[in-house]
Amino acid sequence: MVVTLSTSSAIPSGSVDRFDQDWRKPLEGLLGLGSAAGADLVEVFLESTDHLGVLAEQERITSVSPAFGTGAGIRVFRGERDGFVSTNDLSEAGLRRALEQALGMLGLQVPSLGASGQGGFDGLATLRDFGASKADWLRACPSLSEATTRLLEGTDRLERHGAHLQARRGSYARDWQEVLVAASDGTFARDIRLHQSLGLTVLAADGEHRASAGRRYGSSGRPEHLAQWDVESSAQEVCSSAGTMLYSDYVEACQVPVVLANRFGGVIFHEACGHLLETTQVERGTTPFADQVGELIAHEAVTAIDEGLSDGAFGSLSMDDEGMEPQRTVLIENGVLRRFLSDRAGERRTGHTRTGSGRRQSHAFAAASRMRNTYIAAGPHSPEELIASVEKGLYCKAMGGGSVGPTGQFNFAVEEGYLIEDGQLTKPVKGATLIGEAKEVMPRISMCANDLELAAGFCGSVSGSIFVTVGQPHIKVDSITVGGR
């Protein structure tokens, strides 16, 4: 394609209100400039956001946090190197200035006005508009009045079902986002995303006894999520956990078999192993699995999947932040490492094919290989069979916070735990921490139950904080270090 660098198409009026077909010409002009400058690939990510956060404490709404934003992220590639610049200025001059800065990071510059050059850009493809059917999502979401009413209902139910409660909190967040992605390989795609999350948390105290419990519930693409929330069941679950743990004994440090419950129990696989299967880690040389595709890295009972397809799941998407449709990616199959999650940069630098996993928090971040809905697949056993197979160990019903090292070392708090004695759950215990390393623990997951469930979460990494789903059935780890008193 011959690019003449004398004029460019104007940015469409009302550009902040909608990203649509009217952006084709100005984006083609911008991509053509970058290609003529010598970039192998130029990518533009346009974004508009509408966020609402509400916090309820006791019987009061204590915080309402609306936020709006718009901007663009421009990235250019040359070989394995890339330059990235973000801007809130969506004018013609603002976008061109950002492009020039990104090119300058790679020692490139836009040719002089009036010049012509042979770039590798042949124009944008037909717009793939995944957002066309989602135009009413924001209007269909609950109003601020409706959101506050539901949250106060939640804290009231906590008061009814809990005992010795010192603090009751409920939180709600709504995140709406419109994006348009255009790249010099012809990519031209638009989407609208909607995420809503709810959280309930309690702190119980009686003399020297303390316990806290919290749960998060989240969905994507479901404006009716808050209206359909089963507040009664959620409050009962949180209060039951706190009440059980309030007077429980502290666990003693030990090395024992552990049975991890389903749903949010999958956070350990996500944090300790899932990140090691992103090409970002391959690029950095921080994953021990870099050269082990086709090799056994886990017990044969383990099959692990990452996908963006589950209806309503927090990590589901119609396209990733590089304009690629999601897919079902089998990471580990019967213990054998099959694939890594890859984005544009990962494909260029490591050779692993893109998987629709290029994700970012906002236009202020360059996309990176990130997880979506990540879980260990269901197995043939019942949860009762897993527990019955343990003579002495620990059952982890609910997981809390934790930390993970760069190569998979982890420690995670157990929010609600029980001793397993002679194949039976006995007394509750608190203060347990699971400590291990991914490459050592994965071969010890010897049994998976048939009760796979997913749970909403947030994941922070090089491209910011994103919406994800973790999950698993009940699983048995043959031996793990349990920290305690």
Q: What is the pLDDT of residues 209-228, one digit of tens each?
A: 999 999 999 999 999 999 99
- What pLDDT is recorded for position 4? 40
Quick check: 67 and 159 in contact, CB under 8 A?
no
Q: Give me the pLDDT at residue 189, please.
A: 98
pLDDT of 119 strictly over 90: no
Beta bridge partners of 391: none
- Reported confidence tier of residue 6, pLDDT bands at 50, 70, 90: very low
CATH second-level architecture of 137-179+191-247?
2-Layer Sandwich (3.30)
Burial, 313: exposed, middle or buried (Cβ in 10 Å; 0-12, 13-18, 19+)? buried
How far, in Å, CA of 408 to CA of 268, rounded?
Answer: 10
- Residue 233 to residues 164, 257, 457, Cα–Cα distance (Å): 19, 31, 20
From CA 270, how far away is CA 248, in angstroms rounded?
Answer: 29
Q: What is the pTM of this model?
A: 0.94
Q: What is the pLDDT of residue 132?
A: 96
Q: Please state, for a pLDDT cut of 70, what percent of the chain lies above it.
A: 95
What pLDDT is recorded for position 476?
A: 98
Residue 256 above 70 pLDDT? yes
Query: From CA 380, how far away is CA 447, in angstroms rounded?
Result: 8
- Res 2: pLDDT: 39
- Residue 277 has a pLDDT of 98
Start-end ranges of CATH 3.30.2290.10 in the chain?
137-179+191-247
Closest of 233, 244, 219 to residue 158, by C-alpha: 233
pLDDT value, residue 406 = 87
Mean pLDDT value of segment 137-160? 97
pLDDT for residue 247 is more than 90: yes
Output the pLDDT for position 401: 85
Residue 243 has pLDDT above 60, yes or no: yes
Identify the band that residue 123 occupies on the pLDDT scale cut at 50, 70 and 90: very high
Cα separation, 165 vs 155, whole angstroms: 11
* Residue 14 pLDDT > 70: no
| pLDDT value at residue 10 | 65
Q: What is the mean pLDDT of residues 281-292?
A: 95
